[in-house]
Amino acid sequence: MSLPLFEKVAFIGLGLIGSSLARVIIAEKLANQIVASTRSQKTLDDAKALGLIQEGYTNPIDAVQGADLVVLALPVRATQKVLEIIQPYLSEKTIITDVGSTKANVVEAAKAVYGDALPEGFVPGHPIAGSEHTGVHAGKVDLFAHHKVILTPLPSSADWAIQKLIQLWQASKAEVICMDVEKHDEVLAHTSHLPHLMAFNLVEQLANREDNLDIFRYAAGGFRDFSRIAASDPQMWHDIFFANKKAILNAVDGFEKQLAVIRKLIEDENSQALMGLLGHAQAARQHFNHMLANRPLMEKNKVTTQQFTILPGKKNFQGKFSVPGDKSVSHRSIMFGAIAEGTTHVTGFLEGEDALATLQAFRDMGVSIEGPKNGEVTIHGVGMHGLKAPASELYMGNSGTSMRLLSGMLSAQKFDSVMTGDASLTKRPMERIAKPLREMGALLQTTGDHGTPPISITGNQKLKGIHYDLPMASAQVKSGILLAGLWAEGETSVTEPEPTRDHSERMLRAFGYDVKTEGNRISLQGGGKLTATEIQVPSDISSAAFFMVGAAITEGSDVTLEAVGINPTRTGVIEILKQMGADISVENERIAGGEPIADIRIRGSRTLKGIHMPEDQVPLAIDEFPALFIAAACAEGQTVLTGAAELRVKESDRIQVMADGLKIMGIDCTPTDDGIIIEGKGKSGEWDAIFTGGEIESHHDHRIAMSFSMAGLRTSGEIKIVGTETVATSFPTFTELATEAGLAIQVTE
């Protein structure tokens, strides 16, 4: 039996927070003894009757003697007086913490008692949880569950004391964050103290109206939700407002300034600006929720986990589907619309997390954007020189496209900027775009020995056009250089070793910017302008590829994918599947928004054949190879891929991760430096199960997750795919459409 965390815990004060923490300590068996001191004998008697404490004292000296943890669960204004009383009776190894909403005044109170030599066991804390109810009876054992607890360790705080408090609060199922004192008071002034002040003030304002009864009688849910916190303890909030006076007044000043802005917009009936402000606020709320879900403050790069499960059994795969809009085109529509002159309307926009990260970045740089709503976005362009410095770092989520293209754009701006991303993105190489940008005169810094995000960019640099020979085929690097060239002096040109997707060139022309393409050389002159236009985003061929492969490996399938972009720099997946013998046809070809589109029909009518995938198709199918590896496993004979080293530096090492997963499911394959050899298990005319099932680690790579999902169409055992939450970055409706087609995917979180 393990020893408890503490021998004796003494609470000074036993209201909502103190009694809730006592309940946690009892439930988790964290202490041999719990005692408390309050001025109210009734509170002590009630606490004993509830089984929360063994002994209660009105004199705190009696409570703290022999305690190895003292919790100051009392009003912050009383901290100094209590410390003066108990200080002589505490040992050097006693941990002292508090639960107050402000921290600077708690530290000042401790210094008034101890001087600058604060005890090493002193670690201020603040559980961000509460209720409008107070007192020992209001406490709940789950009050802190799924809430944050902020510890503000001081330079004098010992690691052993900090670690014990972290263990204590984690036992309450809280998320523990460490933060310095000043930052805590500043953040809480904006996120807690100001909202409470506003709630009290709004209720007071309405209560003073003659028609107050009608106002409260007919108040809607929003008013009730917002004003609920005005029912909190007035004495406590009175003390907090004075204790954190400076930070709260700064927050009030900022709120008044912003309120004046929105008042002016309404007064002037400035519809566009008001819509932009409201849209930015809504998107920021959603965006920050996503950021926090993927990067908790206590673990910056933690990724939440989701899992797909596909059960064995013969399946049909049928239907007509519209997959989401092309991710590459969606990114660029926002970027180019933002720096264009006039208003750009976009339809078919991909409402996936990668594209939304780009959209949010431009909102953060002052661009008014309406939507997305049902794939429609309206962008009020600010011109080539209208972007504004963001208030904080730009979060790119999982999107390498966003980061590399924006590196080019931001290198040319007057302001400094920092871009960061989630756990996957922070492992991806960025020197490949940083190097040519530095040659143009940009000043940017990647992180660590491997040149990964975050990227810090120093603004106000004069860029000059260069010619750059791409060492590898990369549409992202090409585009980043060309975008920097929009602001550079003279001509900027790029030569690529193999053709890559040309969405940037096509869309720049659609916005009226002259881009020249001569063979593998692309060039433009700096100093021009973009003019707003209408953009129709085609369905994404990379998303369609999973359904193409699914249909090609399933007997009797018949799937049509409508209005798919067939940009000739992206159609490698179609060509490779045709060479493998897939029954695939491209129908109803047309042009939309400058991009060729068509309906793609695939039928499962014959067994695929293993091939040596042609290297000239590699750049044209670079994102589709994980899905093609599933097709190769179902083919008859050997499939060989070479010339695809780029796959090793995508969201994951896609060669190795796919090879590992294929082996788990019974496929013989050999990864190489620049490709893979797959021994297909298909037999002509037979449609039996190919895969044995198993648990696959996707490494939080959306294309890995969706590719192995399609293996579920030919499996004899259950397939579990771990780390599938990033599927939402490119294909938020994947599981719904796959299930509709006949592949039932169970999603668990």
Q: What is the pLDDT of residues 439-448, one digit of tens each?
A: 999 999 999 8
Spell 506-539 as b/e; 16+ CB within 10 A means b: bbbebbebebeeeeeebbbbbebebebbebbbbb
Mean pLDDT to the nearest integer, 262-284: 85
pLDDT digits (tens, 9 = 90+) for 133-152: 788 998 999 999 989 999 99
346: DSSP letter = E
pLDDT at 291: 53
Q: Work out the number of other CB atoms within 10 angstroms of the CB of residue 488.
A: 26
Q: Are 307-322+539-748 and 327-536 equal in CATH topology? A: yes
209: DSSP letter = S
Q: Chain-wide mean pLDDT for the chain?
A: 91
By CB atoms closer than 10 A (0-12, 13-18, 19+), residue 467 is middle
pLDDT at 221: 65
Contact present, 686 and 635 (Cβ < 8 Å):
no
The CATH number given to 307-322+539-748 is 3.65.10.10
Quick check: is 214 catalytic?
no
Mean pLDDT to the nearest integer, 101-108: 93
Chain centre distance of CA 435: 27
- The better pLDDT of the pair 368, 637 is held by 637
Q: What is the 3-state secondary structure (H, E, C) of 531-582?
A: ECCEEECCECHHHHHHHHHHHHCCCCCEEEEEEEECCCCCCHHHHHHHHCCC
Chain centre distance of CA 50: 43
Q: How far apart are CA 45 and CA 55, in angstroms?
A: 9
The pLDDT of residue 296 is above 50: no
Instruction: Give the strand order in the sheet containing 343-347.
Output: 368-373, 376-380, 343-347, 534-536
pLDDT at 229: 79
Mean pLDDT to the nearest integer, 526-540: 95
pLDDT at 263: 94
Give residue limits of the domains in the chain.
6-179, 187-269, 307-322+539-748, 327-536
Mean pLDDT to the nearest integer, 558-582: 96
The pLDDT of residue 174 is above 80: yes
What are the C-alpha distances in Å from 725 to residues 180, 541, 593, 715, 731? 32, 21, 31, 23, 11
94: DSSP letter = -
Largest CA distance in the chain: 89
> Using 50, 70 and 90 to split pLDDT, how confident is the model at 434?
very high
The pLDDT of residue 288 is above 70: no
pLDDT at 302: 38
Question: Residue 586: CB partners within 8 Å, gap ≥ 6?
Answer: 566, 574, 598, 599, 600
Best-predicted range by mean pLDDT (239-243, 355-359, 720-724): 720-724
pLDDT at 490: 97
Contact present, 413 and 458 (Cβ < 8 Å):
no
The pLDDT of residue 232 is above 90: no
Instruction: Please give the backbone phi and psi of residue 270, each rounded to the nearest 5 degrees, phi first.
Output: -85, 85
Q: Does domain 327-536 have CATH number 3.40.50.620?
A: no
> Using 50, 70 and 90 to split pLDDT, how confident is the model at 219?
low
Instruction: Please give the backbone phi and psi of residue 258, each rounded to the nearest 5 degrees, phi first.
Output: -70, -35
Mean pLDDT to the nearest integer, 550-557: 96
Mean pLDDT to the nearest integer, 670-693: 96
Nearest to 383 by CA among 415, 413, 411: 413
CA torsion 112→114→115→118, rounded to 10°?
Answer: -120
The pLDDT of residue 292 is above 60: no
pLDDT at 624: 97
The pLDDT of residue 25 is above 70: yes
pLDDT at 295: 43
> Using 50, 70 and 90 to split pLDDT, how confident is the model at 289?
low
Q: Identify the active-site residue in 502, 599, 623, 701.
A: 623
What global pTM score does this model have?
Answer: 0.62
Homologous superfamily of domain range 187-269: 6-phosphogluconate dehydrogenase C-terminal like domain (1.10.3660.10)
Report the share of the chain in percent with pLDDT over 90. 75
pLDDT at 271: 87
Using DSSP's 3-state secondary structure scheme, residue 91 falls into coil
Report the share of the chain in percent with pLDDT over 70. 95
> Using 50, 70 and 90 to split pLDDT, how confident is the model at 361?
very high
392: DSSP letter = S
- Helices assigned H by DSSP within 28-116: 41-49, 60-64, 79-86, 104-114
pLDDT at 233: 79
- The better pLDDT of the pair 542, 207 is held by 542
Q: How far apart are CA 308 and CA 745, in angstroms?
A: 6
Q: How far apart are CA 236 and CA 332, in angstroms?
A: 51
Q: How many residues does the chain have?
A: 749
Residue numbers in the known binding site are: 327-328, 332, 400, 428, 474, 476, 623, 650, 654, 703
pLDDT at 231: 80
The pLDDT of residue 639 is above 90: yes
> Using 50, 70 and 90 to split pLDDT, how confident is the model at 671?
very high
191: DSSP letter = I
CA torsion 205→207→210→212, rounded to 10°?
Answer: 120
The pLDDT of residue 392 is above 50: yes
Q: How far apart are CA 646 and CA 624, in angstroms?
A: 12
The pLDDT of residue 374 is above 50: yes
The pLDDT of residue 299 is above 70: no
Mean pLDDT to the nearest integer, 714-738: 92
> Using 50, 70 and 90 to split pLDDT, how confident is the model at 297?
very low
Helix axis angle for 400-411 and 353-364, nearest 10°, is 20
pLDDT digits (tens, 9 = 90+) for 3-20: 899 999 999 999 999 999
What are the C-alpha distances in Å from 170 to residues 14, 91, 177, 641, 725? 20, 25, 10, 49, 25
Phi-psi region of 269 (alpha: psi -120 to 50; beta: other; left: phi over 0): left
Nearest to 525 by CA among 464, 479, 469, 480: 464
CATH topology of domain 6-179: Rossmann fold (3.40.50)
The pLDDT of residue 290 is above 70: no
Q: Report the sign of the C-alpha dihedral through residues 467, 471, 476, 477, in that order.
A: negative
Residue numbers in the known binding site for 3-phosphoshikimate are: 327-328, 332, 474, 476, 623, 650
pLDDT at 36: 96
DSSP string, 670-682: EEETTEEEEEEE-
Mean pLDDT to the nearest integer, 475-483: 96
CA torsion 2→4→7→13, rounded to 10°?
Answer: -170
